[in-house]
Structure 1
Amino acid sequence: MKRSDSTLKAILDVILHDNPATQDEIAEKLGLTRRYVTKLLQPMVKRGVVRRAYILDLKKFDEFSEMFDEEKTSREYAGAYLIKDMLKNMVGHVFKQFDMSFESFVNYNDEMANKALEMDYISNNMHEKIRSSVDTVISINPYSEFSKTMVFSEVAYDLERIADHTCHIANFVLNGCYEVDAEMLEILNSMYLTSRKMVKYSMEGFLNEELDLKDKVMDYEEKIHALQKKALNQIAIQMAEDDVLDKDRSTYYLTLSRVVKAFERIGDISVEIIDAAGEFYRNIPRSTTPERFRRRSSD
């Protein structure tokens, strides 16, 4: 991508979710000169792609948006393209938060745990940014097929929920619990790797229309719940051998159970994301029953 195209994309991103009233606002936001903003926007304004003051005509912009991504399919409107880009950034950040949380758990490191929790504020802000962008897009053309963009807001919320669940992992360290033994750590490491793969494949399926990845997500879903049972059985065995009346030990088992539950919920949310992809691209209706209840009814 040429530098001018990259800058134009940044300008359009500001227009999409910040609703600037003047080019001065756009220039100040991006650290550009007003003259350069005018130069890049002028062709878009003349052709009606950008309307004063300043919003995108998404249908017209779709004719030009292929300059940003040669692999963009013709069915994607410009707003979808820009919001998908924001989702890619958000999932990258959530992965970093997830990794930092588990690393703090493995190393029993307070500093890492606090950093992971601080990253959650950014995850929340990224969700809000995507939600407001979706609202803007729908307000421009609420009756078009593009109103399906609401799904983007749902997926961003799902990513925020995943980030929230990783906080339980970091909080284990900050609650002053004992370090876990090697056998339990091995089970939890498998849960971490499995749930992380579920997030990865579900988001790839949603962002790239790779719906065949649902098979992988569901295979890992079975694995994550088998691991959950194994972890809870291990906790039950340890509790039977321990003095659970001791307050510190009681807190340990309670907080450790939340860590196990966090991995399980991250897996369930991943299933919800890949189901959302099926509805978005293929109009495959999603079940109104949450995944964890569907699973229980089939057991």
Structure 2
Amino acid sequence: MKNKTKNATLKSIIDVILYENPSTQDEIAERLGITRRYVTKLLQPLIKEGLVRRAYIVDIKRLEEFPDLFDEEITSREYAGSFFIKEMLRDMASHVCKQLRASFKSLEEYDEELANDALKMDYITNTMHEKVRASVDTAISMNPYSEFSKTMNFTEIAYDLERIGDHSAIMPNFVIKEAYEVDPAMMDYLRKMFSIAIEMLETAMEAFLNEKLELKGRLMSLEDEIHRVQKSALNCVATQMAETPFEDKERSTYYISLSRIVKTLERIADISIEIFDTAGEYYRNIPRTTTPERFRRREKEFDFE
């Protein structure tokens, strides 16, 4: 247990070096809340081996020589640097799921304070995206011709997660800006869509992070289900809107915003499919189609007709 704790701390030190560019060991110690002496003690063997160079740079290509730093075995396909960036994506996905849940809760409870808290979470999502992007750029510049260049896929996953964060923000903005809360009948549809959308996101990230491409069937079933619920939700909005007097502009604006929430949950589902497609490219070299998911779905519907 003691050795595991030491390795976890050393991994945190390397994270700081990789992603925060400290100039001194004092800076590293301050950011992690540990003593400079302990930082020196842990880094000394790695400096001696040349893995860490002073002022402070990590040789990403050599990280796989230190397997004890990792919680799981590194596959032959993956470099240790890839492992570190995948861990960043794991953390980012977890945060985005929390942001999505917080956003929907603010909508469900029509709570402005919860809405503001959910919107603040989007700043963290954006910061995480920038850290992944910068880390990938650094890794590729150090070794541009190796298989490690496949980590460009990581930038796309981070971008997809950031887009989901942006879509999530539509729900708390509805709470802050609109004068009416969602009625119970419509909320039932939104709950169903939300539940499916977040399961799709978690399933897609599970496929990417752990090479579980066999999850495709489950993901496709969820996709069909969310679009069935979406049609019913939009019909509900249209029916309610038809019963609203034309001169009631405030209520009309409310229905337009409500339709955007339905579309938002659909887009989160579509982006989850895009994440899965990226997993197929990353692990199996399966080329991704350039046709966006929503257009592929329409083509499929036309073929069926």
Q: CA deviation at 1:52?
A: 3.3
Partner of 2:132: 130
2:279 is the alignment partner of 1:277: yes
Q: CA deviation at 1:66?
A: 4.3
Partner of 1:162: 164
Partner of 1:58: 60
Distance 2:154 2:114 in 1: 31
Deviation track 1:29-61 (CA, whole Å, cap 9, x = no partner) reads 323333322221122122222233322222321
Partner of 2:96: 94
Instruction: Name which of 229, 249, 259 aligns with 1:247.
Output: 249
Q: TM-score, with normalisation over the residues of structure 2?
A: 0.93
Distance 2:214 2:177 in 1: 41
Distance 2:142 2:28 in 1: 20
Distance 2:173 2:225 in 1: 25
Partner of 1:227: 229
Aligned residues with identical type, % of pairs = 61
Distance 1:244 1:106 in 2: 27
Contact map agreement 1:192 1:263 (CA 8 A) in 2: yes
Contact map agreement 1:177 1:251 (CA 8 A) in 2: no
Distance 1:206 1:88 in 2: 10
Partner of 1:217: 219
Instruction: Name which of 8, 11, 29 aligns with 1:9.
Output: 11
2:96 is the alignment partner of 1:84: no
Matched residue count = 299
Query: Quick one: which amino acid aligns to residue 248 of structure 1?
Result: E
For structure 2, the 5+ residue unaligned runs are none
RMSD: 1.5
Segment drifting more, 28-37 vs 234-243: 28-37
Partner of 1:36: 38
Partner of 1:264: 266
Segment drifting more, 112-121 vs 265-274: 112-121
SS at match of 2:166: helix
Partner of 1:114: 116
Segment drifting more, 177-186 vs 152-161: 177-186
Q: TM-score, with normalisation over the residues of structure 1?
A: 0.95
Q: CA deviation at 1:117?
A: 0.8
Segment drifting more, 114-123 vs 193-202: 114-123
Distance 1:41 1:133 in 2: 21
Partner of 2:20: 18
Map 1:159-238 → 2, pairs under 5 A: 159-238=161-240
Segment drifting more, 9-18 vs 187-196: 9-18
Contact map agreement 2:186 2:236 (CA 8 A) in 1: yes
Deviation track 1:228-272 (CA, whole Å, cap 9, x = no partner) reads 111111111111222143111111111001100000000000000
Q: CA deviation at 1:10?
A: 0.6
Deviation track 1:3-47 (CA, whole Å, cap 9, x = no partner) reads 210111011111212233433332333233333222211221222
Deviation track 1:82-114 (CA, whole Å, cap 9, x = no partner) reads 111111111111111111111111111111111
Q: CA deviation at 1:219?
A: 1.1
Query: Quick one: which amino acid aligns to residue 91 of structure 1?
Result: A
For structure 1, the 5+ residue unaligned runs are none
Contact map agreement 1:16 1:79 (CA 8 A) in 2: no
Segment drifting more, 110-119 vs 67-76: 67-76
Contact map agreement 1:205 1:211 (CA 8 A) in 2: yes
Distance 1:14 1:23 in 2: 11
Query: Quick one: which amino acid aligns to residue 86 of structure 2?
Result: K
SS at match of 2:182: coil
Contact map agreement 1:97 1:163 (CA 8 A) in 2: yes
